[in-house]
Amino acid sequence: MTNEIKERVFSGVQPSGSLHIGNYLGAIKNFVEVQNKFDSIFCIVDLHAITVWQDPEILGENIIEVAAAYIASGIDPDKATIFVQSQIPAHAELAWILNCVSRIGWLNRMTQFKEKAGKNREKVSVGLYVYPNLMASDILLYHANLVPVGDDQKQHLEITRDIAQKFNNDFGRVNENEFFPLPEPMILPVASRVMSLRDGEKKMSKSDSSEMTRIEFSDENDLIVKKIAKAKTDPLPMPSAIKELNERPEINNLINIYSAFSGEKIEEVINKFEGKKLSEFKSDLCDVVINEMEPIRFRFKELKNDKTYLKKILHDGMLKAKEKSDPIINEVKSIVGLG
C-alpha cells in the first residue's frame, strides 16, 4: 500500500540544548533544499532528548526553539511537515516492536553510544542504549527513503537499514512485497562534520560545556567575531594545498565552514587565502558567517516570542504526521499479528 510514495524525506533534531552552525550546515540547511523536491517531514525528537536527563522546565522551551530554528532557517510549514515526536505515540509503539527485531550485537557496535556512555556504561539510561531503534522507528514509520543528516548519524542509518531488512525478512515481506524501504542517508560533501572551535578533533556539540566551542543560532554578531577570533589554529601559514588540511584539523575546520557558508569550493578558498594573514581569513570568515546567520537570528528571536504561532504550526504538523503514519503503524501491527 504505502510503498507507492517513492521519495519521502525524514529527519530530526533533538531539543537538548542550543542549536549551532554544525546542526545548521550539517542538517537544517539541507532540509531547506530538499523540501522543494520531496515530501519532507522534519521532527523535533523530544523522546530522543530524554535519553539523557533534561530539565522538564527547559525541555518545553527547547522544543519551541527547534521549531523556531527550523522556520527561521527557511523551512516552510506549508511545504514540509514539522512536528514533535512525542505527540505521535506510534513512534514509541513502533520502537518497541523494533526493539524485538534489532539485535544486541548491532547496538553494541554503535560508536555514538560508546562515546556518550564513556566509562559510565553501567549507569547510563537503557533509553540511550536503544536510541538507534527509536531512530529507526522515526524513519520507518513514514516509509522515508531519504534522510538528510550530518556525518555522525551514518552508523544510525546503517542499523536502520539492517532493522528494516530483518523485519522484511522475518515477516516474509521481501522482494516485490518489501514492506519497509531501505532508507539512504543524504550527507553533504562539505561541513557534514563541523568541529569544535577549540579542538579540531572534537565535533561541535550542543552538550559541550564551553559555549566558545560553537556558534549558536542566538549569537549576536560581536559574539560570533569573538568566537572566531579565539578559534584555535596552528602556527603555520595559511595552507597552499588541500592535502595539507589532513594534518591541520583546526584550519581544515575553519576552511570547511568558510566553504559551506560562501558556496566556494575548498580549493577556491585555499587559493583565495594562500599567502594571506590568518587574521584576514578570520575576518572574512566572520563576514560570511554573519551574512547568513544574522537574518536567521533576527527571525529566530522573533519567532521564539511568538509561541502561539509556533504551537499552531506544531499542532497542524502533528495532524499531518498522524495522517501519514497511522496506516503504516496499523499495517505493522497486522503484519506482526498484534491486537
Q: In this chain, which of 9, 12, 62, 200 binds ligand TYM, going by CB under 6 A?
A: 12
Q: Provide Rg for the chain, Cα atoms.
A: 21
By CB under 6 A, is residue 145 in contact with ligand TYM?
no
Total binding residues toward ligand TYM, as defined by CB under 6 A: 25
Closest to ligand TYM by CB, 93 vs 306, is 93
Instruction: Give me the least distance between CB of 9 and ligand TYM, in Å please.
Output: 10
- Going by C-alpha positions, the residue among 160, 154, 99, 157 that lies closest to residue 130 is 99
Q: CA-to-CA distance for 303 and 299, rounded, in angstroms?
A: 6
- Select the residue whose beta carbon is closest to ligand TYM and give its number: 26
* Residue 148 φ then ψ, to 5°: -75, 120
Residue matched to cell numbers 553494541: 108
By CB under 6 A, is residue 135 in contact with ligand TYM?
yes
Q: CA-to-CA distance for 199 and 212, rounded, in angstroms?
A: 11
Contact 17, 52 (CB under 8 A): no
Q: Which of residues 23-52 bind ligand TYM (CB under 6 A)?
A: 23, 26-27, 45, 48
Helix (H) or strand (E) holding 166: helix 154-170
Note if 119 is an active site residue: no
Q: In this chain, which of 8, 9, 11, 97 binds ligand TYM, going by CB under 6 A?
A: 11
What does each C-alpha distance from 112 to 200, 283, 322, 329 come to in angstroms?
Answer: 18, 34, 30, 28
Contact 87, 47 (CB under 8 A): no
Site string for ligand TYM, 182-221 (x = CB under 6 A): ----------xxx--------xx-----------------
Q: Which of residues 92-131 bind ligand TYM (CB under 6 A)?
A: none
User: Given the rule CB under 6 A, which residues bind ligand TYM?
Assistant: 10-14, 22-23, 26-27, 45, 48, 135, 138-139, 147, 149-150, 152-153, 156, 192-194, 203-204
Give the active site residues.
116, 203, 206
